[in-house]
Amino acid sequence: MYTFSNRLKIASIVLMIVGALGIIGGFVMAPGTIAEAKAMVASHDEGHGDAHETEAAHAPKENDHAVADTHGEEHDSSHDQHLLDQLKNRPWAALYVAAFFFMMISLGVLAFYAIQRAAQAGWSPLLFRVMEGITSYLVPGGIIVFVILLLSVLHMNHLFIWMDADVVAHDALLQGKSGYLNPTFFLIRAAIFLAGWIGYREYSRKLSLAQDESDDNSNFKLNFRISAGFLVFYLISESIMSWDWIMSVEPHWFSTLFGWYIFASMFVSGITVIAMVTIYLKSKGYLPDVNNSHIHDLAKFMFGISIFWTYLWFSQFMLIWYSNIPEEVTYYITRIADYRLPFFGMVAMNFLFPVLLLMNSDYKRINWFVILTGIVILAGHYMDIFNAIMPSTVGKNWYIGIPEIGSVLFFAGLFIFWIFRALSTAPLQPKRNPFIEESRHFHY
């Protein structure tokens, strides 16, 4: 039985406290007036030379149709207000990126867990308790994301421009999408998705624990059936979720690959965390039957899904770029012009680094290699979500500062606290899974 150590517990609480202070600091430092917003941008530009010009000169064009025929002063006033909205968005966007990122890790693990159940995989049952511990974070993580979405609907921020009635009133495209992109339906879909994910996780966990005390395999068989059914729900809900929660921050742009792209990001992030938590537990003397072959297979998935993510990234980028359709290429023009370092940097972190470190089969069995690669992969996929959200919400005035770091620290602390507390509530090794002996003697 795993015991949640005081040292790890205190460390996670400290992360939450420091992170909460950073989040609060981000909201406190956000400008309250146009003059403060201009001063903040001017101060940043002075510190970075010509790297970032003022937003007033290059503000995103969502509302240009509403001001195109006005005089110069009114045009400047509109852009100044837009600049203020973007800078006020920054702490909200930083909070949302971190909240979604850690929630998607647990959702990626849930998908991997359901696949193992539905496939009746023989190698992985020794890791089921680790997966169940990580997926426990779906409850607080999903609720927090839902609350942020609810606050967006209540106009506490400007993350989703299609929620602004004034914007929609002057935008024919958004009016055409209003049957789908409307706040009530948006929240209903979010509630259905979270209820389905959390419901499956809780019921599957219940069956998993019940199997340990059962004298037959009925709970195992039921878990197999509901896992197969859940995967159908997951594939549909995950795609729609990616459109709703990420792609709709830029509602004039869409990609038919986007659901798969976000899936690949969450899937590899989830598998990476499984490997890292497993290695940590083994270092503390737990999971004695987990061997190097289990770690090798997890690292193999990290390697393979990193290549799959890169394939989707390149396919989406190249198809849009060579077609050169204006309403599609604006997505990449913005990111290449204003987010070049994080945009191309994440490709190196999410593709080149895993390939170079994990291509050799022997390296997949070296724990510190896997941990090092895992840290880079997680940082890279945080940047992936950062690149998806920030350009449409804060424009070119992005930084990695107190709000971003504070949000990551807070949710990292909450994530660690929640999953390791969940791991301490049940034995780490299943007893009566029909494939437990095959898993125990697994050798690659």
**What pLDDT, on a 0 to 100 scale, did the predictor assign at position 73?**
56
**What pLDDT, on a 0 to 100 scale, did the predictor assign at position 72?**
52
Q: How far apart are CA 369 and CA 300, in angstroms?
A: 12
Q: How far apart are CA 276 and CA 281, in angstroms?
A: 9
Closest CA to 392 of 80, 50, 89, 52: 89
Q: What is the pTM of this model?
A: 0.90
Q: How do the domains of the chain map onto residue ranges?
A: 6-38+84-435
**What pLDDT, on a 0 to 100 scale, did the predictor assign at position 218?**
92
**What pLDDT, on a 0 to 100 scale, did the predictor assign at position 142?**
96
pLDDT along the chain (444 residues), means of 10: 91 97 92 74 60 41 42 60 80 96 97 96 94 97 97 92 90 91 95 97 95 90 96 96 95 90 96 96 93 93 95 92 85 91 93 89 88 95 95 87 95 97 93 90 85
Q: How far apart are CA 399 and CA 383, in angstroms?
A: 12
Place of tokens 């995950």: 238
**What pLDDT, on a 0 to 100 scale, did the predictor assign at position 263?**
96
- Over 29-84, what HEC string results? HCCCCHHHHHHHHHHHHHHHCCCCCCHHHHCCCCCHHHHCCCCHHHHHHHHHHHHH
**What pLDDT, on a 0 to 100 scale, did the predictor assign at position 326?**
82
Phi first, then psi: give them for residue 442, nearest 5 degrees: -65, 130
The answer to whether the beta carbons of residues 208 and 163 sit under 8 Å apart is no
The answer to whether the beta carbons of residues 397 and 41 sit under 8 Å apart is yes
Q: How far apart are CA 233 and CA 110, in angstroms?
A: 12
Structure tokens of 51?
Answer: 């790297």
